[in-house]
């Protein structure tokens, strides 16, 4: 898997693709290096940079000169959330346009704005968006494609889909967006790739150098987010998520944890309300957040996700609180409280980062959200109130005898 990591942002490969886009070329065959959405990333394919296990990302690199643009056209997916995000060569966010901000085509409707639109035929759930090299107007479905002040015209666009209604279709039951480039006055269509790029096919000295450059960039970003002196089992705001392809609609708090035989981690907090789209609710239904999850990740390059328990996968008590136990199977009793949600430890040779995500909090919930803590630079343990996750290490014996309450002192 480690060799796969280099693929996503290997400078040589990306530059080759981007330079290919920079000039008028014929339509690409489906398996050519210049096809659209060459890279796919989730918890099983290209698992890098702390992804969420209930989402899938598709990436396309590009190079746009002044006046150039890229038009994307697609169908709104049946999913909890989707968005378009652009990134610069520093792998940091340039612009974000999420589902309910993307105006529908004439004669179509947006199911992320109007719940009844979900019952319309796909031909009436269509949208167009444009990536522009310069200031963007979101009201016209535009995204800024190139970071301001960046020395090269290269960027990346990522399509994200979270919690597709049909678990068997990671794209939400629709095709990936169609792509049309306007380069130097010429329109260049690009067909979707037949399959993600095969990492085994990209080897050699250039690949090795580019892979090393990518690994250094991600490692530096990850070490900056959670420095080695951060306290264990105490959730805090990361110093920065720059360089890790952050989603503009998500904010995170996290804690470093380490394995010891016979020890597990217990985490408890109040759960924000959410629209359970797998249970038939609409993403437009009133809720405190659009999505939240607790994810456990390796604190080692390429920083893959080990496992997540999303909102709809989490058990709650009668007061709306969750309790997670991060543990090795050998450290869990044969039976335990069914109100506890278990997250597997994974490799015991690697330290972990446990992340809590909040996505797009409502105005009413915002003061208790992770977003409010980070916007104000405040301690999340204070600003989040009961929604702050309290964590404690616990011996397997204590957990077996007294449950999670004995571990947390209550």
For the chain, what is the HEC assignment? CHHHHHHHHCHHHHHHHHHHHCCCCCCCCCCCCCCECCEEECCCCCCCCCCCCCEEEEEEEEECCCCCEEEEEEECCCEEEEEEEEECCCCCEEEEEEHHHCCECCCCCCCCCCHHHHHCCHHHCEEEEEEECCCCCHHHCEEECCCCCCCCCEEEEEEEEEEECCCCCCCCCCCCCEEEEEECCEEEEECECCCCCCHHHCCCHHHHHHHHHHHHHHHHHHHHHCCCCCCECCCECCCCCCCCCCCCCEEEEEEEECCCCCEEEEEEEECCCCCCHHHCCCCCCCCCCCEEEEEEEECCCCCCEEEEEEHHHCCECCCCEEEEEEECHHHCCCCCCCCCEEEECCCCCCCEEEEEEEECCCCCCHHHCHHHHHHHCCCHHHHCHHHCCEEEEEEHHHHHHHHHHHHCCC
**CA-CA distance, 184 to 66, in Å (whole number)?**
9
Largest pairwise CA distance in the chain: 72
Where exactly are the structural domains of the chain? 2-201, 231-407
Residue 29's pLDDT is what? 39
Residue 68's pLDDT is what? 85
**CA-CA distance, 404 to 385, in Å (whole number)?**
20
Q: What's the full length of the chain, in residues?
A: 410
Residue 3's pLDDT is what? 31
Residue 20's pLDDT is what? 35
Q: What are the average pLDDT values for consecutive 10-residue runs of the chain, which has 410 residues? A: 32 36 34 65 64 85 85 96 91 92 98 97 97 93 90 88 94 92 69 54 50 58 59 79 72 90 94 97 97 89 82 94 92 79 89 91 97 91 96 92 84
Q: What is 2-201's CATH number, 3.90.228, 2.60.120, 3.30.310, 1.25.10?
A: 2.60.120
Pairing of strands 126-132, 142-144: parallel
């Amino acid at each position: 898997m480690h060799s796969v990591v280099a693929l996503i942002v290997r400078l040589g490969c990306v530059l080759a693709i981007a330079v290919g886009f920079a000039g008028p070329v014929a339509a690409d065959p489906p398996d050519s290096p210049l096809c659209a959405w060459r890279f796919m990333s989730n918890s099983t394919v290209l698992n890098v940079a702390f992804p969420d296990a209930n989402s899938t990302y598709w990436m396309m690199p590009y190079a746009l000169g002044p006046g150039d643009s890229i038009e994307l056209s697609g169908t709104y997916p049946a999913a909890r959330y989707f968005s378009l995000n652009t990134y610069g060569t520093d792998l940091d966010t340039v612009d974000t346009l999420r589902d309910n901000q993307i105006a529908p085509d004439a004669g179509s409707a947006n199911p992320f704005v109007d719940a009844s639109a979900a019952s319309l035929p796909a031909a009436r759930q269509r949208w167009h968006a444009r990536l522009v090299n310069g200031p963007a107007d979101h009201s016209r479905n535009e995204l800024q494609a190139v970071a301001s002040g960046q020395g090269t015209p290269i960027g990346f666009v990522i399509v994200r889909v979270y919690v597709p209604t049909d678990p068997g279709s990671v794209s939400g039951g629709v095709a990936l967006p169609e792509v049309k480039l306007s380069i130097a006055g010429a329109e260049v269509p690009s067909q979707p790739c037949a399959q993600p790029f095969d990492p085994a096919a990209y080897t050699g000295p250039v690949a090795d150098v580019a892979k090393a450059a990518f690994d250094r960039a991600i490692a530096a970003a990850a070490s900056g987010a959670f420095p080695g002196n951060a306290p264990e089992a105490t959730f805090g705001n990361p110093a920065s998520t720059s360089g890790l392809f952050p989603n503009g609609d998500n904010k995170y708090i996290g804690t470093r944890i380490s394995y010891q035989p016979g020890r597990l981690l217990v985490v408890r907090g109040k759960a924000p309300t959410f629209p359970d789209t797998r249970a038939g609710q609409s993403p437009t239904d009133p809720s405190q957040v659009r999505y939240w999850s607790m994810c456990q990740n390796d604190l080692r390059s390429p920083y893959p996700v080990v496992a997540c328990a999303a909102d709809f996968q989490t058990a709650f008590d009668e007061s709306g609180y969750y309790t997670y136990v991060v543990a090795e199977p050998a450290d869990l009793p044969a039976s335990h409280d069914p109100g506890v949600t278990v997250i597997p430890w994974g490799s015991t040779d690697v330290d972990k980062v446990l992340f809590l995500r909040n996505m797009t909090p409502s105005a009413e919930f915002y003061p208790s959200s992770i977003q409010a803590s980070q916007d104000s630079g405040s301690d999340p343990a204070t600003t989040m109130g009961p929604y702050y996750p309290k964590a404690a290490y616990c011996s397997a014996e204590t957990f077996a005898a007294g449950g999670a309450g004995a571990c947390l002192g209550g």
